[in-house]
Chains A and B, each alone.
Chain A
C-alpha cells in the first residue's frame, strides 16, 4: 500500500531563486502530519505543487496514487485544500459558498444540502451560515475555509497555515477539529509554529531553505534528541579552591564523560555542562568526584534538547537530514 502523499526529489525555481531543493518525503494514510518550517522555507510552494496549482521544475509528486502533473483532475478530486489566507468570495453567503464548492467537487446535487449541514455543524458555523462571507471575522473565515475543504469528504486534506492569525481560543477549536479528522482522513498541515504542530500532529516533516531537514514521528524525533542530552552541574570549589578550568578538567576525567564546558553562575559558583560519551550516564561518577574533592554541590540535572531546540538549530542552518525520510 503506497503512501497517500509522495514527494520525490521535488525542485522548484522561481526564476533564479531556488525555492525547493530536491525535497522528498511521504505521508502515510490516516496520519496527521505537520509540515514545519520558517517563513520562506518552501512550505506553501510544496503544497501548491501537491494541489496542482503550480508545476515543479523537476521531480515528482503523487497524491492518493495519482501523479500531480499528469493526473491533475484525479488529484483535485481527492483533496480538500485550504490555501494560506483563506481566499473566499465576499459577496456570497456562507452556505451558498459551501453549496457552490460542493457542486464543483462533484457532490451529487441531492446530497449537497446534507453535506453543507454536516460541515456547518462540524466547523461550528451554524450561527453564521446565512451571513455574507465578507462580513466574517478572521476566525470564522478560517472555519469556512476548513468547512470548504471538508465538504466533499476527501481522503486527503492539505491545509496551509490553518491557525495563522487566530487568537488562542480559536486556535484551540481549529486544533480540536483537525485532530478529530485524523481517523478518516490523511492530513498534511503546514505551520511555522512548532508548539501548534506538536499538539496536533503525530508526525513531522521539517523543511528549511527548500530542503527537508528532518522527518519522522514526534516520538521518534524526541527520542533521538534524548540521546544527545547533557548534564548540568552547579559546583562551588570553595574559597581558595581550584579554578574553573581545574574543576572542568577534574570532571572531565570521570568515566563516561566526553566534554565539559563551564561558565560562572555568580557568587563563586560554577555551572558546568557535561557531555556524556555515547550512552553513558556519568552522574554517579560526577557526584563521587565532587564529594571526593570536597566541593559544594547544589544542582545536578539532565537536559535533553527539546524539539524546539532542534527546530531552532535546523532553521539556523545546522542540522541535516539523512536518506529519504518518511513520516
Chain B
C-alpha cells in the first residue's frame, strides 16, 4: 500500500510538471465553461447543470486520452519500464498507481467546475440533489475513461497511438456510438444500451443514483485495469 502511494505521488507530481496536462486542463475548462454559459446559465433554465454534465461526457472523450496517453507508453518508450518492473513492486501496484495518478489529476481538473455551482447559487436556487449526483456520475465516468486510457497506453510505446486507441474505444463505448442504439432494432438496442456508458450516466445527471449504474462503472474500470495488469504480466511470459 505504501508503495502504491509512493508511485501515485510520483505520477501526480509528474503531471504537474508536464505542459500537456495544463493545456488539456485549460481547454477542458474552456469548453465546459462555454457550454455552461450557453446551455445552463440562461434565463429561464432550471438552476441545474444538466447541460454541462452532458457536454462534459463528450468533451472528456477528447481530452482524457490526452492525459492518459503517456501513463505507460512513455515508460515503455524511454526504457524506465525496465527499472520499474525490476524493482520489488507488483504489476498490480504499478497499474493501480498509474490509474490513481491520472484519476486524481482528472479530479483536480474537474474541481474548478464547482465554480459553476457557486455562480448558480448566486443567481438562483440550484437543486443540490441533481448537481451532487451529476458529479458522482462524472467522477465514475472519468474513472472508466481513465482506466481505458491506461489500458490503451500499456499496449504501445507511442503516446499518439495510445491516445488514438483510447479515443476510438471511448467513441465506441461512451459517445457517439451508443446513440446508434436508438435506431437499431431490439435485441441489439438493449444490448448496446446496457453495455455502453451513455445509458448508465444519464440517470446521474437527472438526480438518480442507481446502484446498478455505480456497479457498471466500477466493474468497467476494474476490468480495464485488470486487462492492463495482464498486458504488463504478459511481458514476463513473452
Residues of A within 8 A of B (CB): 48, 51-55, 72-73, 76-77, 79, 81, 83, 85, 87-89, 91-92, 100-101, 103-106, 148
Partner of A76, one of B2, B7, B86: B86
Contact, CB under 8 Å: B10 / A100: yes
Contact, CB under 8 Å: A104 / B3: yes
Contact, CB under 8 Å: A105 / B88: yes
Partner of A104, one of B6, B17, B78, B82: B6
Query: What is the CA–CA distance of A148 and B78 in the complex, to the nearest angstrom?
Result: 17
6 CB < 8 A contacts A-B: A76-B87, A87-B82, A87-B83, A104-B87, A104-B89, A105-B88
Q: Mark B78-110, 1 if CB is under 8 A from A, else 0.
A: 111111011111100000000000000000000
Least CB distance from B87 to A in Å reads 4
Contact, CB under 8 Å: B86 / A85: no
CB-CB < 8 A to A91: which residues of B?
A: 14, 17-18
Beta-carbon nearest neighbor of A72 in chain B? B236
Contact, CB under 8 Å: A100 / B83: no
Partner of A101, one of B87, B237, B238: B87
Contact, CB under 8 Å: A53 / B6: no
Least CB distance from B230 to A in Å reads 15
Partner of A53, one of B14, B85, B88, B90: B85
CB-CB < 8 A to A106: which residues of B?
A: 88
B42 within 8 A of A: no
Partner of A148, one of B18, B82, B83, B88: B83
Query: What is the CA–CA distance of A94 and B167 in the complex, to the nearest angstrom?
Result: 35
Beta-carbon nearest neighbor of B7 in chain A? A104
Residues of B within 8 A of A (CB): 2-3, 6-7, 10, 13-14, 17-18, 78-83, 85-90, 235-238
Query: What is the CA–CA distance of A101 and B3 in the complex, to the nearest angstrom?
Result: 10
Least CB distance from B227 to A in Å reads 20
Least CB distance from A164 to B in Å reads 14
Contact, CB under 8 Å: B86 / A81: yes
Contact A53:B86 (CB < 8 A) given known A100-B10, A103-B2: yes
9 further A-B contacts with Cβ under 8 Å, apart from A91-B17, A104-B7, A105-B88, are: A53-B86, A77-B88, A87-B80, A87-B83, A88-B83, A89-B10, A91-B14, A92-B10, A103-B2
Contact, CB under 8 Å: B79 / A85: yes
Contact, CB under 8 Å: A55 / B80: no
Give the tally of cross-chain contacts (CB within 8 A).
Answer: 64
Query: What is the CA–CA distance of A224 and B3 in the complex, to the nearest angstrom?
Result: 50
CB-CB < 8 A to B90: which residues of A?
A: 73
Query: What is the CA–CA distance of A72 and B88 in the complex, to the nearest angstrom?
Result: 8
Beta-carbon nearest neighbor of A87 in chain B? B79
Contact A54:B235 (CB < 8 A) given known A73-B88, A73-B90: yes
Least CB distance from A68 to B in Å reads 10
Contact, CB under 8 Å: A52 / B87: no
CB-CB < 8 A to B238: which residues of A?
A: 54-55
**A-B pairs with lowest CB-CB distance, top 10:** A87-B79, A76-B88, A51-B86, A87-B80, A104-B87, A103-B6, A77-B88, A83-B82, A91-B17, A81-B86
Partner of A55, one of B79, B81, B85, B237: B237
Q: Which residue of A52, A53, A76, A148 has the most chain B CB atoms within 10 A of its CB atom?
A: A53
Contact, CB under 8 Å: B86 / A79: yes
Query: What is the CA–CA distance of A88 and B80 in the complex, to the nearest angstrom?
Result: 6
CB-CB < 8 A to A76: which residues of B?
A: 86-88
Contact, CB under 8 Å: A89 / B80: yes
Beta-carbon nearest neighbor of A109 in chain B? B2
CB-CB < 8 A to B6: which residues of A?
A: 100, 103-104
Contact A54:B236 (CB < 8 A) given known A83-B83, A104-B88, A148-B83: yes
Contact, CB under 8 Å: B14 / A89: yes
CB-CB < 8 A to A55: which residues of B?
A: 236-238
CB-CB < 8 A to B236: which residues of A?
A: 52, 54-55, 72
Query: What is the CA–CA distance of A105 and B2 in the complex, to the nearest angstrom?
Result: 11
Beta-carbon nearest neighbor of B90 in chain A? A73
Least CB distance from B202 to A in Å reads 39
CB-CB < 8 A to A52: which residues of B?
A: 85-86, 236
Query: What is the CA–CA distance of A219 and B3 in the complex, to the nearest angstrom?
Result: 45
Least CB distance from A155 to B in Å reads 14
CB-CB < 8 A to B89: which residues of A?
A: 104
Contact, CB under 8 Å: B14 / A81: no
